[in-house]
Copies of this chain bind each other. A is one copy, B any other.
Amino acid sequence: MSAVTYTFLGPEGTFTEAALMQVPGAADATRIPCTNVNTALDRVRAGEADAAMVPIENSVEGGVTATLDAIATGQELRIIREALVPITFVLVARPGVALSDIKRISTHGHAWAQCRLWVDEHLPNADYVPGSSTAAAAMGLLADDAPYEAAICAPLIAAEQPGLHVLAENIGDNPDAVTRFILVSRPGPLPERTGADKTTVVVPLPQDHPGALMDILDQFASRGVNLSRIESRPTGQYLGHYFFSIDADGHAADSRVADALAGLHRISPATRFLGSYARADRQPASAAPHTSDAAFASAHAWVDSLLKGS
Contacts and interface: CB of A to CB of B under 8 A. Distances in A.
A240 B229 contact: yes
Interface in A263-277: 263, 265-267, 269, 273
Contacts of A130: 130-132
Contact of A302 (B58, B128, B218, B262): B262
Interface string A215-253: 101111110011111111010111110100000000011
A309 interface: yes
A219 B223 CA distance: 10
Given A239-B178, A267-B290, A303 B261 contact: yes
Nearest to A228: B240
B190 A210 contact: no
B174 A237 contact: yes
Interface of A: 57-58, 64-65, 109, 114, 128, 130-132, 174, 176, 178, 180, 187-190, 208-211, 213-215, 217-222, 225-232, 234, 236-240, 242, 252-253, 258, 261-263, 265-267, 269, 273, 290-291, 295-296, 298-300, 302-303, 306-307, 309-310
